[in-house]
Copies of this chain bind each other. A is one copy, B any other.
Amino acid sequence: MDAIVSVDATSAKRVEQPRNAAERLAQLVYEDMRLVDALILERMQSHVTLIPDLARYLIEAGGKRVRPMITVACANMLGYRDEAPLKLAAAVEFIHTATLLHDDVVDKSGMRRGQQAANLIWGNASSVLVGDFLFARSFTLMVEAGSMKALGVLSSAASTIAEGEVRQLAAIKDIGVSVETYMAIIGAKTAALFAAAAQVSGIVAERPLAEEMALETYGRELGLAFQLVDDALDYSGREAALGKTVGDDFREGKVTLPVALSIKQAGSRDGGEDEARFWTRTISEGDQLDGDFDIALSYMRENGALSATLQAAHDHATRAREALAIFPKNKWRMTLEDLADFVVERAY
């Protein structure tokens, strides 16, 4: 086997000595993901050159392609080799990329995937329209995959994502957001696409409903774990590892789980008044001073909100792993199981 092989303009990499579950998965799906990446590059083309220019900027920026890898790996776990899961995998990545482009406009984020966000270079209007283009193309790919049921699942996931984003928007600066509300938000904005990415492989492989639902659960729980780790990293991570700006959530007044948990305990324990006032001022009133982010981080380390968030991520990852128990124990299943653990490990 070659040493690390770089494929032009794709993220599919052959890794000689995989160091973790993500790299093992990438190695297993290497050939399939080359095909998925080729599809992605082909279908983001347009005679309107700004579209591939902008799409390439984001798509080549080293996104992890976690979602399409899940579709491809689940299909392989089921022993199903066909073009359909590859097309659906590319469609899933297009939906995700469209969401990122629109998110950048919505969030006014400065960095994405380790580089300046696309809307800062091309403008909001282009980000909105190129997102629309990729979203439309994702459905063309789904049509080619030929499964009306898979189309229904992915279109439903797409409207659920939008619902989750709208709820998150409404929850900004709202220190009344409960843990339950927050979990519903990320269940919609993040976990729905992970769930669909896994489920559609079972649909095109025409597996029994119990297996299709087990795949859906795997994707959903993995997505929840993934998002919770992201939320913790937005406070405790390093920018290089995160690929976006640390502290974005805090500056935007997003009430993620670490904040919701901090607010909850500060309101209920004796002597929590100072901390409660801190969260009201910085999140609810949006009145942030230099050094406030570091204070937020130290509160979260003291009050246990960060470790509780990672514990919740760990619990969801365990449920993802357990959902695969009904499938034959092959190398694909084992790697998908390991991936669930890895998602949480990357937080440490």
Residue positions of A touching B, CB distance < 8 A: 46-48, 50-51, 98-99, 102, 105-106, 124-126, 128-133, 135-137, 139-140, 142-143, 146, 148, 151-152, 155-156, 158-159, 161-163, 165-167, 169-170
Contact = CB atoms under 8 A, between A and B. Distances in A.
A81 to B, nearest CB: 22
B152 A143 contact: yes
Contacts of A162: 51, 129-130, 132-133, 136
Contacts of A128: 102, 105-106, 128
Contacts of A155: 136-137, 139-140, 142-143
5 contacts: A105-B124, A129-B169, A130-B166, A137-B159, A139-B155
A156 B43 CA distance: 12
Contacts of A156: 136, 140
B125 A46 contact: no
Contacts of A151: 139, 143, 151
Given A128-B106, A148-B148, A140 B159 contact: yes
B50 A170 contact: yes
A338 B347 CA distance: 66
Contacts of A167: 48
A159 B132 CA distance: 7
A148 B84 CA distance: 15
A126 B167 CA distance: 10
A148 B143 contact: yes
A159 B133 contact: yes
Contact of A158 (B99, B106, B132, B165): B132
A152 B141 CA distance: 9
A48 B163 contact: yes
Contacts of A47: 163
Given A106-B128, A146-B148, A151-B151, 18 more contacts: A48-B167, A99-B132, A102-B129, A106-B124, A106-B129, A126-B169, A132-B158, A132-B162, A133-B163, A135-B135, A136-B158, A136-B159, A137-B155, A139-B139, A139-B151, A139-B155, A140-B156, A143-B155
Q: What 7 pairs between A and B have smallest CB-CB spacing?
A: A136-B158, A136-B159, A133-B162, A139-B155, A106-B125, A132-B162, A143-B152
Which one of A137, A155, A156 has the highest number of Cβ atoms from chain B below 10 Å of its Cβ? Answer: A155
A47 to B, nearest CB: 8
A72 B85 CA distance: 35
Given A136-B155, A148-B146, A124 B124 contact: yes
A117 to B, nearest CB: 14
A99 B148 CA distance: 24
Contacts of A166: 48, 50-51, 126, 129-130, 133
Contact of A139 (B124, B132, B158): B158
Which one of A46, A133, A140, A159 has the highest number of Cβ atoms from chain B below 10 Å of its Cβ? Answer: A159
A56 to B, nearest CB: 14
A159 B135 CA distance: 8
